[in-house]
Structure 1
Amino acid sequence: MKAMRKLVWMLLAVSMVGFTSCDSDDDDWIDDGGQGSGGSDEGGVVTPSGSGTYADPWNVAAAKENQDTDYKFVKGFIVGQVPSGDLEEAQFEAPFSGTSVSGEPLTEGQNILIAATADEKNVNNCLVVQLNPGALRTGLNLITEGNAAKVLGKEVILQGNLEKYFGVVGMKSTSYAILVESSEEFGAIIDPDGDFNVPELLITDLRAMLQGSKITITEDKKIIGIVISDVVNNNVSSLKQIVVAAEDNSAGIVLYCSENNDSYLIGDKVEVRVKDLSLENYGGLLELNGVPLVNIRKVGTGTVTPRVTTVADVKNNSSAWQSTLVTVQGEYVPALSDGTFGSSNAATTNTIKDGNDEVNSYVSKFAKFCSTKVPTGTKSITGIVDCYKNTLQLNIRSEADIK
């Protein structure tokens, strides 16, 4: 199958005669200093070449000239990584390291630097590449023990979207890589016109596939569901997050996309291709990670009817009901003294009380209803069963979920 995909891309490459350059913003790349640890001012500027196809990938110089292009192929040598959001801290020699937002040491690096030569140590001559979660990140990152010895200095071809990363020209939503010398592949080539004519995998069965912390799905299948999260009112922890549930509300799953979602709204019926995606448990929340938006397509609309229940039953069935809609009778108790849902300064954790039972309810600082006053008294409250750092949440989408 992989050989067939390669053949398709090579045939496409034959029909192309060059590449189109886009004007770059003046601040797309840092042109002074910034060599990173162990860096030097040496290293040459290479003439742009390639056409961005699998058979004729762009080199790093051409990639920098072609920002805002998607699903392109770039070739270079893996020379280092950036442990934080600051290119000045680029690392070119082992040991490689980094810390998470919680301050814990990373076990997997989230990016690599590629360059025209294997000995490049000037970050300005490199392209910073985001590694999608899953096989690609696990196989190519430089922090995981043993990886640096295997991939540092090796030539690689990558497919991804050329866009700003760390505020400069980079590659994001990286879906596929192949080490040139060994022909070892990671992830899968994305065809923007990909075929959704594959068997359906029930969301219930998808969830059952995860028996540990993370797996890569090998089955060429799709899930079908209804979007129940609300990108319009924006009470989500990330714009990359979409929650879909089976039409009968029997099961749901979080799609953590490789790009921000501004297309899929409540009630959209979608198909999601799952092959080569990472299924993982993130702090108690089951999610498909690194989902390219081209893996999702709208096929209609639908309605998910919430399960009418109690807070006690939500707590007793939190795993089975995760990422589905429920409706409870209770009091929505604001955490802030002004009685509003939240604050634009920081996320707020409110409480839903149902008799002697209660559950947390998250409101993002980006939620459009932050400044709205919480209605008082016992109400009908609808929300998505969620989990954050292994703590149960019942999160409303907007103030309209309280009646």
Structure 2
Amino acid sequence: MRSNRPGPRTGASAPSAPVPLDDGAALLGLPMWQRLLPVGGAMAAVCAVDLLSGRDTYLASLMSVVPPLAALLLFPMEVVISSCLGLLLMVGLTRYDGLGDAEARRLFEGTLVAYAALTLAAVFISHFRIVRTRHLVAVRTVAEAAQLALLPPPEPEVGPVRVAARYVSAADLAQIGGDLYAVLETPFGVRALIGDVRGKGLPAVRMASLVLGAFRESAYDEPELTGVARRLERSVARHAVSGEFTTALLVQFEPPGTIELVHCGHVPPLRVAADGTATTLDPPDPWVPLGLAQLAGGKPQPWLERFAPGDRLLLCTDGVVEARGADGSFYPLAERLPALVGAADGDLAAALAAVHADVVHVTGGPLRDDAALMLLSWADPP
């Protein structure tokens, strides 16, 4: 039974954590009164300063700040309306202050011309800002839909294994990454794959889909996990262009308390024991990424690890472990993971969400590279 198709969301997190495109995208969804509030505040501030300064001080020209501010916050028609209101206030303040001589009147006329030019420019700026923002939102939506089609969320339980997966998009607009994961229940046990294609964009997506297709086919045919790895290697080597490769980690769950792993140049997994200790499962014989086997010769070697009931296994891509803080240090995943998993109280999806939030907090901003995470454990007994 193929168990990686979309299923109930209980226990499985969404494959993508949306990242705001920019402040302009957020402004599109705000009510009009919230967008008008800064512009109205600026008008009120200019009026207050001018009135408090008395008739001897002419500050009505400061109302020229309204069109540029409106261009950044409002839609074109709202820019026109707010600018006209600002113009009326400026004329009223000018009448209040008075125009004593011809030079003052010429100054006022020049201010009107400049205000009209600013208003016209603000309307064009607002129009192109809205068009650009809507275009970027549409492109990002398509990119996220493509990623969702490539990586549907796994079912919360695949055979005897509980699963949660999370895909985190980097804040680089529509650059779809090549991170991938899959979990299948096969005649040989539950098998999981996590990988990372070198590069971004459509070539990375193409290679990721090829690797996933090869895994979903070979996982049912190959009795040995190394056989699955060899099939993946041949597929990548056959279709990859020069210099392309894919890091991968294969895991096979063998009840009641063992896992078999095959390492192909990927980030080592982390095991969090029931007592809260974290262990990095480094391969005794590391292997090269998929697509580079012809440079190394030989074949990848599997190894066994203890995986007892109550343990958690985290598989992730380098977008997590290579995230850097302000001081340039890497995110200390092995140090912080036990507390984050423990605080989730057995909820694997909540634990992954906590890991993502903690990475963002520690590094001081959104991830600069896409990241895929999977957290697995033995299913609770009935």
Q: TM-score w.r.t. structure 2 length?
A: 0.23
Instruction: Tell which structure's C-alpha radius of gyration is larger.
Output: 2
Kindly indicate which of the two structures has a greater share of residues assigned to helix.
2
Q: TM-score w.r.t. structure 1 length?
A: 0.22
Higher relative contact order (CA 8 A, sep 6+): 2
